[in-house]
Amino acid sequence: MHYAVTSRGDETSNALQQKIKNYLNEFGLIFDEDEPDIVVTVGGDGTLLQAFHDYAHRLDATCFVGIHTGHLGFYADWMPEEVEKLIIHIAKTPFQVVEYPLLEVVIRHFGDEKSERYLALNECTVKSVEGSLVSNVSIKGELFETFRGDGLCVSTPSGSTAYNKALGGAILHPSLATLQIAEMASINNRVYRTVGSPLVLPQHHTCLLKPLNDVDLQITIDHYSLVHKKVKSIQCRVADEKIRFARFRPFPFWKRVKESFVGD
Ligand code: NAD
């Protein structure tokens, strides 16, 4: 089996990364950063998000497992003390694979035939660089509303516990192939009106955002943030691809939610 180990880059994570490499090499696994069957991330959720984007071109052939060297993460859910146990699992046992849905984002610009396609593990957010975002929101080809406000967040089920949660969105189980649209401070008065609640769309229901004012947009895909000019549309739907996690023990999603947000 071919493997890669990524690190957040701090001293603790780097030391653990080296330890994992040594162990896995001893077990006869092959270190291969280009075409790994499994990627072990050491750091936090951000480290796993980064690894996901680094290997997004080969999701069908790569599994992920995350170790947290800080607080318990949503994706990075193994503790440093469990590393030996995890290594033996990776080296000796055929592991189960759990798949989580992803978000596909296609951005089109005025005066450009080409579109840009991204995959997000957590979410895509759209804000105006200056003033409010004014954008039509269509669902499945039908105009749903004209949004005015700080911005919109379109998240995956596994990303529903991240930015989406801070916006009052629901926590969705990652077995549901859905996307969720959450508002950021919409303007609602006698002139402007939006639905005001987070919306959960099933697979194949595309959400299309069409900005109505000519402003630069700040668009994030997970931890990446880019300013886009002359945006014609941002199309979001549940992606055909999925992320695959290597599972060596049960750690139910709701248990993770409880431990992270409610307490023991
Ligand atoms: P970061 O270091 O600022 O991390 C933000 C926090 O989000 C970390 O504690 C991380 O563990 C947590 N996190 C990441 N994914 C999560 C998930 N799926 N469920 C629960 N918690 C999660 O930035 P980063 O590590 O580069 O992560 C980028 C993410 O930060 C974005 O995808 C976005 O979801 C999140 N974010 C949240 C807010 C907010 O809650 N107001 C604002 C901006 C970004």
Query: In the chain, what are the domains?
Result: 2-95+248-262 (3.40.50.10330), 102-240 (2.60.200.30)
Ligand 1 centroid, distance to 157 Cα (angstroms): 14
Q: Crossing angle of helices 83-92/11-26, nearest 10°?
A: 30
The residue whose CA is least distant from atom 10 of ligand 1 is 45
Contact assessment for residue 78 and residue 47, using Cβ atoms and an 8 Å cutoff = no
Buried/exposed 196-228: b ≥16 CB within 10 Å, e otherwise: eebbbbeeebbbbbbbeeebebbbbbbeeeeeb
- pLDDT tens, N- to C-terminus, the chain (264 residues): 999 999 999 999 999 999 999 999 999 999 999 999 999 999 999 999 999 999 999 999 999 999 999 888 899 989 999 999 999 999 987 889 999 999 999 999 999 989 999 999 999 999 999 999 999 999 999 999 999 999 999 999 999 999 999 999 999 999 999 999 999 999 999 888 999 999 999 999 999 999 998 899 999 999 999 999 999 999 999 999 999 999 998 889 999 999 999 987
Neighbours of 83 (CB within 10 A): 17
Query: Phi first, then psi: what are they for 106, rounded to 5°?
Result: -120, 120
pTM: 0.97
Catalytic residue among 10, 37, 45, 54: 45
Angle formed at CA 101 by CA 97 and CA 102, multiple of 5 degrees: 120
Best mutation site among 102, 223, 226, 261 for ligand 1 pocket (most ligand atoms within 8 Å of CB)? 223
